[in-house]
Amino acid sequence: MARRTDICAQQLPTVAMSLVDAGSLAPLTSDATVRLHTVTKTGVELILKRPFIDGSHVLMDVHNITQKLIQVTLPGGEGEAPEGLRLWGDVVRFNRLEGAEGPCFLVELAWIKDKPARDVRQRLLKRLGRLNRSGGERAS
């Protein structure tokens, strides 16, 4: 029998996530630090410790009521503005996972194809993939 990996306990690189309006991409919540689980060209899986984006917005409830997009902001280097390090995705899955030390929450996003422009998006996806492979800044 295969052993199951406790995703909730894994040390993973971190990114920032916030809820944004689907039309204007205006932020609706403050940034929350989330762990980066899997990155592909078409989407990303993020791990949250709690189902809250900030102190009051429960991601699952918000997603079930009305479409909202998630903004993922990559960690910046010296002098890089966060505005240039953002990708947007639509929530396609939200699951509660049970870990040895308690639950965590997996959020799967499908990237929005027209935001940002294709060349910028490709550059950010490569950077996000490198961050995921290298381990990047680890969650505490």
Kindly report, residue by residue over 30-79, the tens digit of the pLDDT: 888 899 998 888 899 999 888 766 655 556 555 555 667 888 888 876 66
What sign for the dihedral angle of Cα 16, 22, 60, 44?
A: negative
Residue 57: the pLDDT is 56
Confidence (pTM): 0.78
Q: Are 7 and 47 in contact (CB under 8 A)?
A: yes
Kindly report, residue by residue over 111-128, the tens digit of the pLDDT: 987 777 777 778 888 888
Element (H, E) at 127: helix 118-134
Look up residue 9 and give its DSSP letter.
G
Mean pLDDT of the chain: 78
Q: Is the pLDDT of residue 139 over 50?
A: no
Say which residue, 135 or 123, is predicted with more confidence.
123
CA distance 93 to 81: 30
* Radius of gyration over every alpha carbon of the chain, rounded to an integer in angstroms: 15
**What's the mean pLDDT in 136-140?**
50
Residue 137: the pLDDT is 53
Residue 46: the pLDDT is 92
Q: In this prediction, what percent of the chain has a pLDDT beyond 70?
A: 76
CA distance 96 to 110: 18
